[in-house]
Structure 1
Amino acid sequence: MVCGDWLRKRADLSPMNVALVDGTTKEKWTYKELHEQALRWAMFFQDKGLQQGDRVVVVAQNSPIFFEMMFACLKIGCVLTPLNWRLSEAEIREIALHAEPALMVLDDFSLQAFPTLQTLGFQWEPLNRVKEKINTQEFHGLIDESKPKDYLPWLMIYTGGTTGKPKGVVLTERAINWNAYNTIITWGLTEKDTTLTYMPMFHTGGINALSIPLLMAGGTVVVANKFSASEAIQLLHEYTCTIALFVPTMYHMIVEDPLFQKMPFSSMTAFLSGGAPCPHTIYEKFQQRNLPFKEGYGLTEAGPNNFSITPERAHTKVGSVGKPMLLNEVKIVNNEGLEVQTGEVGELIIKGNHMFTEYFRNEKATMETLRNGWLHTGDLAKQDHEGDYFIVGRKKEMIISGGENIYPLEIEQVLIAHPNVREATIIGVKDERWGERVIAYVSVKSPEVITVSTLIEHMRPSLASYKLPKEIVILHELPKTAVGKIDKKRLVESYKIGG
C-alpha cells in the first residue's frame, strides 16, 4: 500500500485547521502552512545537493519546525536523523560519524554545546539561518513526489543505549504510516483531538506515539520544549487537549504540583503513560480525581504503539497495557520460541507492518532482533485469563538469585508504595554465593525520617524473603536517561566502582 504524500492531501482537506502550535511562542501552523513550509525545506535540501537515501542529521531542541524538515525529507526521499542533544559532545560526535550525514542542521543550543560537530567534515547549516532563508524564498523548481517511497527509509532514530551503544533504527514510510493507521483506528483519533508533547523529537515517543497519527487524522499537536509540570498543566487547559503522553517521571512531578488538584482537565479523554512501567501510585492519584489514565507499551523498533486499553479497564487492571491493537500481532514465548501458558512469563514478540527495517550498518543486531518475521523485544510479559497483557520487565534485567527468577518491577512497585519514597529502581549484581544479588536504589521525600530498616520492614509483608534487596542505597535523585527513564546502566556501572 503506497499512501503517497498524505500531508499534501491533508492540506487540501483541512487547509485552515491548526496542525501545529509552539507551546513557548504560541505560533501556529495551519495544514496549508505546514505543507508549504515542507516544500520550501525540500527545495532547500535539493539545492544543497541531497539525494534519495541521504541522511539529514538534526541536532535541535523541540520545535514545530522539526515536522517541516521531516515532511520535506519524505518528499525527496531523504532520511531525517534526529540526534539526542542531551548527550555529551563525545557521544554525539560518535553517533554523527556513524550516521554519515549529507547535511547537518544545528540549532543555536547545539552550535554552542557541540562546536566540534562543525569540524567533522560534513556539510552543515545553522537552523535559524535556514529558517530565515526559506521563509523569504519563492517556490522554484519541481519536487518529484511521483516515485513510490513506501519502502524507503524516512526516519533513523538512535536508541537510548541503555543496554549498549546506541543503534540507528531505520523506519520506512510504510512503517511510520502503518503505526499511524493502527493508532488512529484502534484509539479512535479524529481531527477534533489535540495533544501536548514534551517528549523529545529525537525519540519515537515525540514523533510516532501521537504526533504523526494526530497529524494524519487532522488534529493538532502542541509542541513544548523544557518540561515543567505547572506549564504542562496550563498548556493542557489552554489548548483543550484531549490526549497526552508523559513518562512516569513527568507524572510524578505533575501529581505533586499544586495545580494538579485545582484544574478540572475536563477536555482530557486519556492521560497516557509510556517509556517505562508506571508506578501504581500514579494510577491512584488519577483515580482519586476520577481522571482517565492508562498505560501503553512500545519501542522504537515497533510502533511505538502496540496495545490498547480503555481508562475504565485500566482502573480495574492496574499495570495492564490491555490487548493487541487491530493491525499488529503479539505473542509471549519461552527460550525455545514456544508460546507460554496463560499467567506464565516469557519474552514479548511483535509482528506487523509498523516494524523497523534494520539497525543501520549493524547486521548482527538486526538478525538477533528480527527473526522469522517477528521482532524480539527483549521485554518480559504475561497474559491473564481475560487476554490482557502485563509487562513484567526487561529480559536482560531479570535477576537470578539462588536459582530463583526475580523481576525488578515487582520489587520497585512495592518500594514506591511507601509514602516517603519518590522513585525506586532495582539492579542485579554478581555474587559468588547467590549468582546475583538484589540492590535497590531509592530517592525519598524526607531523608531524615526514613532508614533502610524501615524500607525493608515495609517490603517484608509483600515479598518473599529471597526478593528482598540485600542493599538499599538512598540518593537525593536517581539518574535519568535523555527521555526521563531511570538510568539503570549508570547505576550498575556506579556500583561496580563503589559509587
Structure 2
Amino acid sequence: MGMHFNLADLFEAVADKVPEREALVCGDRRSSFADLDAGANQMAHYLAAQGVKAGDHVGLYMYNCSEYLEAMLACFKIRAVPINVNYRYVKDELLYIFDNADMVACIHHREFIPAIAEVRDAAKKLKIFVSVADETNEDLSLIGAVDYHNASESQSKARDFAERADEDYFILYTGGTTGMPKGVMWPHKNVFFAAMGGGGHFSPLGACEKPEDIRERVMENPLRGIALAPLMHGASWWYACIQLLAGNTLVLNHNRSFDGDKVWQIVADEKVHAVQIVGDAMAIPLLDSLAANPDRWDLSNVFNVGSGGAIFSEAKQDAFKKFFPNVFITNAFGSSEGGQMGMDNGSKKTASGLGNVSRTDYMDVIVEEEGKAPRHAEMGETGIFARAGYIPMGYYNDPVKTAKTFLEVDGKRWLLTGDAAKLEDDGSITVFGRGSNCINSGGEKIFPEEVEVALKAHEGIFDALVVGVADDRWGSRVSAVIQARKGIKLDLNNVQEHCRKHIAGYKVPREIHLIEELPRAPSGKPDYKTAKAFAESGKGAVA
C-alpha cells in the first residue's frame, strides 16, 4: 500500500522511527509513540467491529486526556471522521450538533452521560457509546455505553487497516460569535499543509514534498511543548498534531479549569520548552500568576511562548518578555476555516490593525461589492482576508453558508475568512479583525479588536470588549465593556487618555461600562451580542 498525506499514515511513520520516545504526557499518564499507536489501533479495531466504517462520523466529547488523541487517531486509521463536541455546550447546542453531525458513535467522558441521554434522540444514527472513566459514577446503562478500556483491551494492536487517502477528511465544529456551530470539512492533506506547516515547522528542510519525507522531519533532539487549550478547539488540536508529527513530546493541561499556578507547575515539572496559548484570555491569568509568585518555579527551559486563534496583544507579549527576557514570541493568524494564515514575532509593520502577513498567490484580500463579481483588492483597498489552495471542502450539511464563504474569483476557489484586511502599498496584508463587528462612526470604520488591544495595555484593565451603540449624531459610537482588575477604580477620562497613546482619537471609546465578568460563548469566544446589550442598557456606566 502507498503512503499518503493522511494524518494516520504520517503519525505511523513517525511512531515507527521513534517508537520508544515519549509522545504524550497528560497528568499521571505517559505514553511513548509506540504506546499511543498501539492504543489507537485497539480502539480502531473496536470501532470497526461495531460497524463503524470509512466516512462514518464519531463524536469526541471529552476533556483533555490521552484517550482523546488515541480516539482521534483511531478514527483516522479506519478512515472514519472524528467530530469535536464542545463540553461547555448546553442542551440546545448539543441538540444541534448531535443532529447536524450525523454521528454513529460517541466517545465521551462518563460525566456527560446525562447530557447525552437528553439529546440522543436527535441523532437517529447514533448507536455506539464508549465511556472514558472519570471521577463520576454515572450509569453506563442509561445510554448503553461501554467502558473505553474494557472495549479496547481485548482488541488487536496490529495495523491491518485498509489503504487511506489524501482526501479522507475530518470535521472541525467551530462556534462563532453568533449562531450555532458550523462543521468545517477538512481533507487530511489540506489541513496538514494549511494548519501544520506541512511538517516543516521545526526542520530546516521545510515542508514535506512527499509523505515519506515526514520521517526526515523528525528532530534528533525533541522539544517539549504544552497545549493549554482544550483539544476540542482547532488551535490546540493542530498544535498537538504539529508536535506529534515532528516526533516531539506533547504535554497536555489535564486540569478541568484554567489555573495559572497549576499551568506553571506543569511547565516546571515537565521541563517544557514551548508554551502554546490562545490569546490574551490565557495570557492574562498566566502573567498574573508569574507576578504573584516570583521565583516560585524553575522555568528556565521555556524559550517560546506562542499564540494562535485569538488576539495576543503587544502589551501581553511585552509582559512575557519581562519574565522571560530571551523568549521567542510567536503570534499566528488563522481560523478554523483558514488554518494558519501567517505568523510573526508580534512586531507590526503599521500602527493600525492586529498584525501583518505577506500577500501571495494563495493569500490575498478579496473585495465584494453589491451587484458585482468579487475581485482581488487593489493597493490600499480594504476587503476580506482570503485564502486559496489548501482550504476546506465547505461546511457540513450547510450549502448556504458554504456558498457565502467559498467563492470563485478569476477561476480560483477562495475562502473568505470574515476578517477585514487591507492590502498595503508594499504588498503586505494588514489584518483588522471580524468585519461583521466593524463600527461605523461618522463614516470612519473602527475595528473592535484594535481598540481592545489598546484597552488591555492599561494596567488596571483585566479584559475588555468593544461594541458600537446607536448615536444620533455619528450613527454609532464606540463603547467599551470592561472587566477591571480587583481593587482598581477606572474613570472615563483616564481610560481615554491611555487609549490616545495607542490609537487614533476617533477610535477612542466614548463611554465605558464596568462588568464583573466579560461574557463569552461556550466556545470561549467573545460574546459581542451580550456585551452590546449590556452597553445599550446603560449598566455599569462610568463617567
After TM superposition, is the score higher than 0.5? yes
Cα contact 2:41–2:74 (8 A) shared by 1: yes
Q: Cα offset for 1:463?
A: 4.9
The equivalent residue for 2:36 is 34
Q: Cα offset for 1:49?
A: 1.1
- Going from structure 1 to structure 2, the CA distance change for 1:387 and 1:253 (only over 3 Å counts) comes to farther
Partners of 2:355 and 2:218 in 1: CA distance: 22
The equivalent residue for 1:443 is 483
- Going from structure 1 to structure 2, the CA distance change for 1:211 and 1:462 (only over 3 Å counts) comes to closer
The equivalent residue for 1:58 is 60
Gaps of 5+ in 2: 134-145, 204-216
- Match of 1:15, SS state, is coil
The equivalent residue for 2:421 is 381
Cα contact 1:427–1:438 (8 A) shared by 2: yes
- Going from structure 1 to structure 2, the CA distance change for 1:49 and 1:141 (only over 3 Å counts) comes to farther
- Going from structure 1 to structure 2, the CA distance change for 1:30 and 1:377 (only over 3 Å counts) comes to same
- Going from structure 1 to structure 2, the CA distance change for 1:58 and 1:497 (only over 3 Å counts) comes to farther
The equivalent residue for 1:223 is 252
Cα contact 1:283–1:293 (8 A) shared by 2: yes
The equivalent residue for 1:182 is 197
Partners of 2:359 and 2:508 in 1: CA distance: 36
Partners of 1:64 and 1:453 in 2: CA distance: 50
Residue 360, structure 1, aligned to residue 400, structure 2? no
Output one character per residue of 1:62-109: Cα deviation in whole Å (capped at 9) or x when no partner: 112111111111111111001111111222122111112111222123
Residue 241, structure 1, aligned to residue 272, structure 2? yes
- Aligned residue identity for 1:361: N
The equivalent residue for 2:207 is none
- Aligned residue identity for 2:23: A
Which residue of 147, 150, 157 corresponds with 2:172? 157
Q: Cα offset for 1:164?
A: 2.3
Aligned pairs for 1:275-424 within 5 A: 275-289=309-323, 290=325, 291-303=327-339, 305-310=340-345, 321=355, 323-324=357-358, 329-336=362-369, 337-340=374-377, 344-353=381-390, 355-372=391-408, 373-382=413-422, 389-424=429-464
Cα contact 1:438–1:468 (8 A) shared by 2: yes
Q: Cα offset for 1:215?
A: 1.0
- Match of 2:147, SS state, is helix
The equivalent residue for 1:255 is 287
Partners of 2:262 and 2:358 in 1: CA distance: 33
Residue 2, structure 1, aligned to residue 4, structure 2? yes
Which residue of 37, 40, 46 corresponds with 2:48? 46
Deviates more, 1:4-13 or 1:255-264: 255-264
- TM-score for both structures, normalised by structure 2: 0.82
Identity %: 25
- Going from structure 1 to structure 2, the CA distance change for 1:386 and 1:220 (only over 3 Å counts) comes to farther
- Aligned residue identity for 1:224: N
Output one character per residue of 1:32-58: Cα deviation in whole Å (capped at 9) or x when no partner: 111111111111111211122111112
Q: Cα offset for 1:374?
A: 1.1
Q: Cα offset for 1:451?
A: 2.0
- Aligned residue identity for 1:306: M
Partners of 1:40 and 1:186 in 2: CA distance: 30
Deviates more, 1:104-113 or 1:471-480: 104-113
Output one character per residue of 1:110-131: Cα deviation in whole Å (capped at 9) or x when no partner: 1245541345452123233432
Partners of 2:503 and 2:63 in 1: CA distance: 43
Output one character per residue of 1:292-311: Cα deviation in whole Å (capped at 9) or x when no partner: 222111111122x2213347
Q: Cα offset for 1:495?
A: 4.7
Deviates more, 1:405-414 or 1:94-103: 405-414
Cα contact 1:18–1:28 (8 A) shared by 2: yes
- Aligned residue identity for 1:476: E
- Going from structure 1 to structure 2, the CA distance change for 1:187 and 1:492 (only over 3 Å counts) comes to farther
Output one character per residue of 1:335-366: Cα deviation in whole Å (capped at 9) or x when no partner: 3544445565432111232x211101111111
Partners of 1:365 and 1:464 in 2: CA distance: 35
- Aligned residue identity for 1:57: G
- Match of 1:400, SS state, is strand
Cα contact 1:378–1:396 (8 A) shared by 2: yes
Cα contact 2:57–2:82 (8 A) shared by 1: yes
- Aligned residue identity for 1:127: V
Partners of 1:99 and 1:484 in 2: CA distance: 21
The equivalent residue for 1:169 is 184
Output one character per residue of 1:117-155: Cα deviation in whole Å (capped at 9) or x when no partner: 345452123233432214530428984322x422122x2
- Going from structure 1 to structure 2, the CA distance change for 1:142 and 1:6 (only over 3 Å counts) comes to closer
Residue 452, structure 1, aligned to residue 484, structure 2? no
Cα contact 2:316–2:457 (8 A) shared by 1: no
Output one character per residue of 1:377-436: Cα deviation in whole Å (capped at 9) or x when no partner: 111234666665442111111111222211223322332232211112211234454332
The equivalent residue for 1:97 is 99
Structure 1 residue ranges, 4+ long, deviating more than 6 angstroms after superposition:
314-320
Gaps of 5+ in 1: none
Cα contact 1:295–1:320 (8 A) shared by 2: no
Partners of 1:272 and 1:21 in 2: CA distance: 19
- Going from structure 1 to structure 2, the CA distance change for 1:136 and 1:458 (only over 3 Å counts) comes to closer
Cα contact 1:89–1:114 (8 A) shared by 2: no
Cα contact 1:306–1:325 (8 A) shared by 2: no
Partners of 1:474 and 1:135 in 2: CA distance: 51
- Going from structure 1 to structure 2, the CA distance change for 1:383 and 1:268 (only over 3 Å counts) comes to farther
CA RMSD of aligned residues (A): 3.0
Cα contact 2:513–2:538 (8 A) shared by 1: no
Partners of 2:155 and 2:498 in 1: CA distance: 68
Number of aligned residue pairs: give it. Answer: 490
The equivalent residue for 2:139 is none
Which residue of 189, 205, 226 corresponds with 2:235? 205
- Match of 1:297, SS state, is strand
